[in-house]
Amino acid sequence: MANPNKAKGTSWETSTTHYLNDRLGLYKPNWKDLPAAQRFVDFLSPLNVKRQAQTGAKDVGDLWAWPFVIECKDVKSAAIPAWLRQAKAETENAGFPYGVVVHKTRSANAGRAAVHFDVRTWTRTRLQLGLPAREFWYLHGFTCTARGLDTSTWRFTTDLEQFALILRNVRNASR
């Protein structure tokens, strides 16, 4: 791959995919020793977390983890508000209900990556789970960045380990 930043991003997307599929029990126990096509418990399951091909102007996000579109970022300098706007647009393009950003944390395993929710996605997710704000906040170790009174600029952040639990719970609540 000629572009080192693209290679870094692809590697991060792949690491995030593997982490979530493993944590959600969608991979076979010995998945690391298997070819890619044999890693899944059920290769055709729509619940598998999968990387998406880039589609140009109507991009649909980096990963699909139904019902979330995930935008993965592996950069030093964070631009979280812009990334959340990008995730929102890609979520709409994909026709999914929720979109989040997963930002790699330097010198840490994938489970420590920061997962950012905009205020609307955070609220809709907790309502889907039937949790009051305070309980959802404490249960999943969220932090909040809120500058000013414009709630569209607020964001809630947890880690990828907690996001895997949220994803599992949202899927169970949707049944």
The pLDDT tens digits for 57-87 are 788 999 999 999 999 999 989 999 999 999 9
First to last CA, the chain: 41
What rounded mean pLDDT belongs to the chain?
93
Bridge pairing between strands 50-51 and 63-65: antiparallel
Predicted model pTM = 0.94
Class (C level, CATH) for 4-173? alpha beta
Band (pLDDT 50/70/90 cuts) for residue 111 is very high
Mean pLDDT of the region 43-60: 87
Residues counted in the chain: 175
pLDDT value for 1? 53
Measure the CA–CA gap between 150 and 170, rounded to whole angstroms. Answer: 27
pLDDT for the residue numbered 148? 85
Q: What is the 3-state secondary structure (H, E, C) of 90-124?
A: HHHHHCCCEEEEEECCCCCCHHHCEEEEEHHHHHH
Report which of residues 175 and 62 the model is more confident about. 62
C-alpha–C-alpha distance, residues 45 and 42, integer Å: 5
- For 141-163, write each residue's pLDDT tens digit: 999 999 888 888 899 999 999 99
By DSSP bridging, strand 98-103 and strand 114-118 are antiparallel
pLDDT tens by residue, 17-47: 999 999 999 999 999 999 988 999 999 999 9
User: Which residues lie below 8 Å from residue 99, measured CB to CB, with a gap of 6+?
Assistant: 61, 68, 69, 70, 71, 84, 87, 88, 90, 91, 121
